[in-house]
């Protein structure tokens, strides 16, 4: 098949206009925002122009369907609250270009998926988790974002677009191209990462409550200060987790709500996100035990009440060996010596889709390893190389089947 790099890059730049942040090439396009919905409606038209049947499901996952059985490719077009122009978007636009080029070449049939809320405004890779049966819709509908908006309310903004469910049985497999979002390919001057496995994740919210009081008249030794409790928890957690993790293990407190948040008030309550990731299920559990035990001890020592929210999570998953081999062979043919096998420390829709069908992923470099930030970027030459390697892999797969 003959992919068209110019057409591909133009679609990528056109897509980044939806929710353009005005800072670099950054975007603000959270799930169900006006920019997200407009981008999805634009993509539906691009799918139609490519000879695909655009279909939305009940939660805003958008599919561009080829007739009959087809290989599914894609990713997500929603962004983090401050996102880059390529996170997710690259995989959707590359899938669209491959689908066009494949049609122009007479096959194989390729369909396109643009999953909703991969960035987890509400859950964790929410849209593909629902589509793949990992997350029941009635449970998803009760999830809220950090402002308290429910998933049910948010997705109602797309109700007019919702169609019948898309049957996963019509697809033979799933391949997703994504930016690495880490530093390794760019630092090594390599062009392609063939993903071996995707780490697992656990995500919950922890609340500690002490006593709100006057910042001037309350002696330090008599305070039940929520910020001090969080600070003590974080210090103790770092000391303890170091004993059970590997260099690939990560844990993050990314969102903190300190109540009431005033200069002259000792904060009485803190609610914070607690997220951790690892490639090993057993280590994820051990990390969870340390997190719960440390929070319980710190709260008891400081006279704080403690509560844990429900926990969301995805298990570590290995990529399909056959699809991986096609990606590796194409990389070896087109960029010999400039590719590697690698684990994904970022979560992706491929984790959920892998529960339904063979799934594989391929990375292109991220400049400086920056992502989930307006500064996220990739050299356009590397983007086109990724497209060409993907096109070669699909052609080889077509010949092999
Ligand atoms: O957080 C992640 O790994 C993904 O980019 N949402
Ligand atoms: Mn992503
Ligand atoms: Mn992301």
**Per-residue model confidence (pLDDT) at position 400:** 62
Ligand 1 atom 4: residue of nearest CA: 347
CB of 352 within 8 A of CB of 134? yes
CB of 153 within 8 A of CB of 300? no
Mean pLDDT score of the chain? 97
Which among 178, 181, 252, 369 is the best mutation to test ligand 1's pocket, defined by most ligand atoms within 8 Å of the CB? 181
pLDDT tens digits for range 229-278: 999 999 999 999 999 999 999 999 999 999 999 999 999 999 999 999 99
3-state secondary structure at position 91: helix
Location of structure tokens 């960029």: 335
How far is the centre of ligand 3, averaged over its atoms, from the C-alpha of 400 (Å)? 33
Residues 6+ positions from 147 with CB-CB distance below 8 Å: none
CB neighbours of residue 309 within 10 Å: 13
CB of 233 within 8 A of CB of 226? no
What pTM, to 2 d.p., does this model score?
0.93
- Paired with 115 in beta bridges are 76
How far is the centre of ligand 2, averaged over its atoms, from the C-alpha of 130 (Å)? 17
Exposed/middle/buried for 373, CB within 10 Å: 0-12, 13-18, 19+?
A: middle
From the CA of 347, give the closest atom in ligand 1: 3
* DSSP secondary structure string for all residues of 253-306: ---EEEES--TTEE--EEEEEEEEEES-HHHHHHHHHHHHHHHHHHHHHTT-EE
Q: List ligand 1's pocket residues with C-beta within 6 A.
A: 118-120, 346-347
How far is the centre of ligand 3, averaged over its atoms, from the C-alpha of 76 (Å)? 9
Ligand at shortest distance from the CA of 346 = 1
**Per-residue model confidence (pLDDT) at position 401:** 58
Parts of the chain with a pLDDT under 50: none
């Amino acid at each position: 098949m003959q992919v068209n790099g110019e057409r591909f890059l133009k679609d990528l730049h056109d897509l980044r206009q939806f929710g353009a942040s005005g800072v670099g090439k950054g975007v603000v396009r959270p799930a169900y925002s006006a920019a997200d919905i407009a981008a999805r409606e634009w993509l539906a038209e691009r799918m139609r122009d490519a000879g695909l049947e655009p279909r939305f499901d009940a939660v805003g996952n958008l599919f561009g369907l080829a007739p009959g059985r087809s290989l599914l490719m894609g990713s997500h077009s929603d962004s983090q609250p401050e996102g880059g122009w390529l996170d997710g978007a690259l995989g959707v636009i590359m899938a669209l270009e491959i689908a066009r080029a494949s049609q122009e070449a007479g096959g194989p049939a390729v369909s396109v998926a643009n999953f909703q809320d991969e960035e987890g405004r509400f859950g964790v890779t929410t849209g593909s988790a629902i589509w793949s049966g990992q997350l029941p819709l009635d449970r998803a509908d009760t999830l809220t974002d950090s402002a308290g908006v429910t998933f049910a309310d948010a997705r109602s903004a797309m109700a007019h677009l919702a169609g019948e469910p898309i049957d996963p049985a019509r697809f033979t497999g799933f391949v997703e191209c994504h930016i690495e979002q880490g530093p390794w390919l760019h630092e090594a001057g390599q062009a392609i990462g063939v993903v071996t496995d995707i780490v697992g994740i656990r995500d919950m919210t922890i609340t500690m409550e002490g006593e709100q009081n006057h910042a001037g008249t309350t002696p330090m030794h008599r305070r039940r200060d929520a910020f001090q409790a969080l600070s003590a928890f974080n210090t103790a957690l770092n000391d303890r987790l170091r004993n059970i993790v590997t260099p690939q293990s990560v844990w993050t407190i990314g969102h903190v709500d300190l109540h009431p948040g005033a200069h002259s008030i000792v904060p009485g309550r803190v609610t914070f996100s607690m997220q951790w990731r690892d490639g090993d299920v057993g280590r994820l559990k051990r990390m969870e035990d340390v997190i719960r035990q440390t929070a319980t001890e710190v709260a008891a020592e400081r006279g704080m009440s403690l509560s844990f929210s429900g926990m969301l999570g995805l298990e570590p998953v290995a990529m399909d060996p056959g699809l991986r081999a096609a990606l590796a062979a194409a990389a070896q043919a087109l960029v010999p010596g400039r590719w590697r096998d690698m684990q994904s420390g970022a979560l992706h829709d491929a984790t959920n889709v892998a529960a339904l069908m063979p799934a594989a992923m391929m990375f292109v470099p991220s400049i400086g390893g920056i992502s989930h930030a307006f500064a996220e970027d990739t050299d356009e030459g590397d983007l086109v190389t990724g497209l060409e390697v993907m096109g070669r892999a699909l052609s080889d797969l077509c010949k092999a089947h």
